[in-house]
Amino acid sequence: MSPVSPQDLHQKYLLIGQVRAPRGIRGELKVWVNLTDAEQLEALREVYLGDDLVRFEVKRARLMAGQLLLRLSGIEDRNAAERWPGAPVYVLKEALPLGEDEYYYHQIEGLNVITDEGETLGRVTEILTTGANDVYVVQGSEGEILLPAIKQVILRVDPEAGIMVVKLLDGLR
């Protein structure tokens, strides 16, 4: 397979996690998942492993202890699975469609953040996954601000314009 350009990678594929280790003797892979709604991964039909995006048909996908366990066609035993630790795991974006007002992490990271009053706060540098909601880490000239990803705070997200408009509630500064 020919290398995929970074632009094609972000347009067509979604990074869902990273292979941690093989599990068992039948070639199952333990995958650390970087999605908040991981349950939808149990219905996957195909995944792409590694930087070369090697395609595999999913025989079985299930969540266990916060990790995704994958059985893939072509990886039938532990020896075959041991070739993949550390490999990024991708899916085609159309396999995990977004709902209204939902965004991929890579669309949020790097956005310029301004308040509803026009004040520039900085840039989203990281997304923290918590139990209740994600938290956006914003780095600006006045330091770091943590913004909960809730409707009362995040008023508008415009990845194409590169901005996020927020309302600073009491205690967020």
**Predicted structure pTM score:** 0.66
Domain residues for the domain of 31 are 6-95
Q: Does residue 120 share a domain with residue 154? A: yes
Q: Does residue 129 share a domain with residue 87? A: no
Q: Which DSSP state fits 18?
A: E
Q: Does residue 79 share a domain with residue 28? A: yes
pLDDT at 36: 63
Q: Does residue 89 share a domain with residue 144? A: no
Query: Domains in the chain: how many in total?
Result: 2
CA 13, CA 122: separation in Å to the nearest integer? Answer: 28
Q: Does residue 133 share a domain with residue 86? A: no
pLDDT at 3: 58
Closest C-alpha among 12, 13, 19, 27 to residue 50: 19
Cβ-Cβ contacts under 8 Å for 168 (sequence gap 6 or more): 115, 121, 153
Neighbours of 146 (CB within 10 A): 12
Is 62 in contact with 23 (CB distance < 8 Å)? Answer: no
CATH code where residue 126 lies: 2.30.30.240
pLDDT tens for the chain, 173 residues long, are 445 666 667 678 989 999 999 999 999 999 998 776 778 888 899 999 999 999 999 999 999 988 899 999 999 999 999 999 999 999 998 888 777 888 878 789 999 999 999 999 999 999 987 777 889 999 999 899 999 999 999 999 999 999 999 999 888 77
